[in-house]
């Protein structure tokens, strides 16, 4: 559908002459439209199969088409690829998340707008020339060694480059963004938040996947995306928006993991140990765990490529093709949740054969969480042999405080044949609890 004519100001349209010196009779001047009153930002949404939809990973894309005299985006477009849309209930949340991701790009979360950001007083963060433009380069080499043909460079008070983990990284170093990452990782020396290093061009338009995997504005759709205070910090630092921080979601990924998590390689190339065992893994066959936010049982996203991984992302000596499936995450093997392990989906409960035997004593519900377990129902032993290697499960949990203000977690375990439940209190991380009617134990990991 074309944009309504009323949305346009007057403009001169020349279809027979492309020079500024066109004669009047070669051009048409359109009348000015009425515009859209009381509107700060106008978004046009369409569903059309375009050339950009040919990529198997593209469900939608967005762009910003216009900005005002202070560089704030005023007009954007989001296109959804019709063949990628799915009307099933299970796909709804993911598609809403994709829509939010693209809308956030249209609002200005893009490398194109990093050089245009403003300070709180309205002055440009990146100095301008006499025409009001930031520095523009038409040829050269970017800090990340990519050749450029056109590049608008942000100031070093907006973007700083450094070499970390054997490759060049760019960091957004504006005040609120810097404050967020220092608090989030519990690392007071961080200069800013890394921008994705494997986006195309000189500078990426996403947060670094390796450090912020579930964040809404990383390049890869996560199992459980989070609209965190990091992205809100960018908008607050842009100079164009006031943000409501209370609307952000908690990002558990990387929380309080320290400076080493934020700056060093995910797998130590000498010891082969993950820098954080609940985030990264080294075996896809015997790994059983939980997603970092405990909303799902998890797997290890590790495989062997058809060709060697770039040297700076090789973590397994003697096997240059072994690495994580998510290339944007610096090929780090991530601990990832998935739909089959989603603790909120009741259909994921395993019952033996045509019985009601709950083999692992699990519960799947909107508030249920994942934890480590070796529980096996005694009921199942009467008729079945449970050989599953499962080492994690989903359970009903609630947090309480006692009279001494000490916190504890109450777990409720259903028992099949007796048709009742057992309630247990866990008072400390890593405590192993035995459950009557089950062999093994359950361990609280969060």
Highest mean pLDDT among 14-18, 37-41, 175-179, 363-367: 175-179
Separation CA 177–CA 211 (nearest Å): 14
Residue 357 has pLDDT above 80, yes or no: no
Residue 23 has pLDDT above 60, yes or no: no
Q: How many CB atoms lie within 10 A of CB 249?
A: 15
* Element containing residue 106 per DSSP (H, E): helix 89-106
Residue 31 has pLDDT above 80, yes or no: yes
> Catalytic residue among 102, 208, 209, 215, which?
102
In CATH terms, 39-108 corresponds, of 3.90.1150.10, 3.30.1330.40, 3.10.170.20, 3.30.1360.40, to: 3.10.170.20
- Say what the pLDDT of residue 124 is: 97
Q: Which stretch of 202-211, 279-288, 358-367 has the lowest confidence by average pLDDT?
A: 279-288
Residues of the chain with CATH 2.10.55.10: 266-339
Per residue in 285-309, pLDDT tens? 778 899 999 999 999 999 999 999 9
Q: Domain 266-339 carries which CATH code?
A: 2.10.55.10
Q: 372 pLDDT band (50/70/90 cuts)?
A: very high
Looking at per-residue confidence, does 360 or 355 come out higher?
A: 360
Q: Degrees (nearest 5) of the Cα angle 162, 241, 124?
A: 55
Per cent of the chain over pLDDT 90 is: 62
Three-state secondary-structure class, residue 311? helix
* Element containing residue 443 per DSSP (H, E): strand 442-443
Looking at per-residue confidence, does 210 or 440 come out higher?
A: 210
Separation CA 217–CA 408 (nearest Å): 35
Handedness of CA 278, 280, 283, 288 (dihedral sign): positive
Q: 146 pLDDT band (50/70/90 cuts)?
A: confident
Residues of the chain with CATH 3.10.170.20: 39-108
**If you average pLDDT over residues 213-242, what whole number do you get?**
96
- Say what the pLDDT of residue 4 is: 87
**If you average pLDDT over residues 392-419, what whole number do you get?**
81
Residue with tokens 């797998």: 267
Residue with tokens 């739909």: 339
Separation CA 437–CA 316 (nearest Å): 43
Separation CA 394–CA 364 (nearest Å): 6
Detail the residues annotated as belonging to a binding site for Zn(2+): 101, 105, 206
**Helix, strand, coil distribution of the chain in percent, nearest 5:** 20, 25, 55
Q: Domain 125-247 carries which CATH code?
A: 3.90.132.10
Phi and psi at 270, nearest 5°, equal: -95, -55
Three-state secondary-structure class, residue 270? coil
Residue 212 has pLDDT above 80, yes or no: yes
Both tokens of residue 290? 């939980």
Task: Report the chain's C-alpha Rg in angstroms.
Answer: 26
CB 279 within 8 A of CB 335: yes
Separation CA 363–CA 410 (nearest Å): 13
Which bin fits 335, alpha (ψ -120 to 50), beta or left (φ > 0)?
A: beta
User: Closest Cα partner for 301 from 335, 341, 253?
Assistant: 335
264 is catalytic: no
The torsion angle over the Cα atoms of residues 227, 228, 230 and 236, rounded to 10 degrees, is: 70
Residue 141 has pLDDT above 90, yes or no: no
Residue 18 has pLDDT above 60, yes or no: no
Separation CA 135–CA 202 (nearest Å): 14
Q: 20 pLDDT band (50/70/90 cuts)?
A: low
- Say what the pLDDT of residue 381 is: 56
Residue with tokens 């061009």: 201
Looking at per-residue confidence, does 425 or 76 come out higher?
A: 76
Looking at per-residue confidence, does 214 or 22 come out higher?
A: 214
Detail the residues annotated as belonging to a binding site: 101, 105, 206
Looking at per-residue confidence, does 1 or 201 come out higher?
A: 201
Per residue in 328-337, pLDDT tens? 999 999 999 9
Q: How far is CA 366 from CA 339, 343, 394, 396, in A?
A: 13, 7, 11, 9
Residue with tokens 């403009």: 11
pTM to 2 decimals?
0.90
Both tokens of residue 287? 């790994």
Task: Using DSSP bridges, classify how beta strands 73-80 and 42-47 pair: parallel, antiparallel or unpaired.
Answer: parallel
What rounded mean pLDDT belongs to the chain? Answer: 90
Residue 150 has pLDDT above 60, yes or no: yes
**If you average pLDDT over residues 204-214, what whole number do you get?**
97
Residue 376 has pLDDT above 90, yes or no: no
Three-state secondary-structure class, residue 314? coil
Residues of the chain with CATH 3.90.132.10: 125-247
The number of CA neighbours under 13 Å toward the Cβ of 281 is 22
């Amino acid at each position: 559908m074309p944009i309504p004519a009323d949305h346009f100001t007057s403009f001169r349209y020349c279809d027979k002459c492309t020079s500024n010196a066109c004669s009047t009779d070669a051009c048409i001047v359109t009348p000015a439209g009425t515009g859209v009153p009381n509107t700060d930002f106008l978004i046009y949404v369409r569903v059309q199969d375009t050339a950009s939809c040919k990529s198997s990973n593209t469900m939608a894309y967005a762009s910003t088409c216009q900005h005002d005299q202070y560089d704030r985006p005023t007009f954007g477009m989001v296109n959804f690829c019709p063949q990628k849309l799915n009307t099933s209930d299970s796909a709804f949340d993911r598609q809403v998340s994709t829509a939010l991701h693209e809308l956030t790009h249209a609002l200005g979360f893009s490398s194109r707008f990093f050089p245009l950001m403003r300070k709180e007083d309205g002055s440009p963060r990146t100095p301008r020339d006499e025409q009001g433009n930031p520095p523009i380069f038409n040829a050269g080499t970017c800090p990340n060694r990519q050749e450029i043909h056109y590049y608008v460079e942000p100031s070093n008070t907006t973007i700083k480059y450094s070499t970390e983990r054997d490759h060049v990284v760019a960091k957004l170093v504006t005040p609120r963004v810097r404050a967020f990452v220092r608090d989030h990782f519990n690392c007071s020396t961080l200069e800013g938040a890394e921008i994705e290093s494997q986006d195309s061009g000189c500078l990426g338009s996403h947060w670094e996947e390796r450090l912020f995997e579930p964040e809404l504005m990383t390049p890869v759709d996560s199992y459980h995306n989070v609209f965190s205070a990091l992205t809100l910090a960018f908008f607050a630092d842009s100079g164009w928006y006031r943000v409501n921080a209370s609307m952000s979601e908690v990002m558990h990924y990387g929380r309080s993991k320290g400076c080493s998590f934020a700056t060093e390689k995910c797998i130590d190339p000498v010891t082969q140990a993950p820098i954080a065992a609940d985030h990264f893994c080294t075996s896809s066959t015997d790994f059983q765990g939980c997603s970092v936010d405990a909303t799902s049982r998890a797997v290890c996203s590790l495989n062997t490529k058809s060709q060697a991984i770039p040297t700076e992302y090789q973590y397994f000596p003697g096997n240059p093709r072994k690495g994580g499936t998510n290339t944007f995450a610096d090929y780090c093997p991530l601990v990832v949740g998935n739909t089959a392990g989603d603790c909120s989906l009741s259909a994921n409960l395993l019952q033996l054969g045509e019985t009601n035997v709950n083999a692992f004593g699990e519960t799947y519900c909107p508030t249920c969480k994942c934890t480590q377990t070796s529980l096996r129902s005694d009921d199942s032993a009467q008729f079945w042999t449970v050989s599953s290697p499962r080492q994690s499960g989903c359970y009903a949990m609630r947090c309480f405080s006692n009279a001494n203000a000490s916190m504890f977690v109450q777990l409720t375990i259903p028992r099949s044949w007796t048709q009742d439940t057992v309630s247990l209190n866990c008072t400390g991380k890593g405590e192993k609890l035995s459950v009557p009617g089950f062999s093994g134990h359950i361990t609280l990991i969060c």
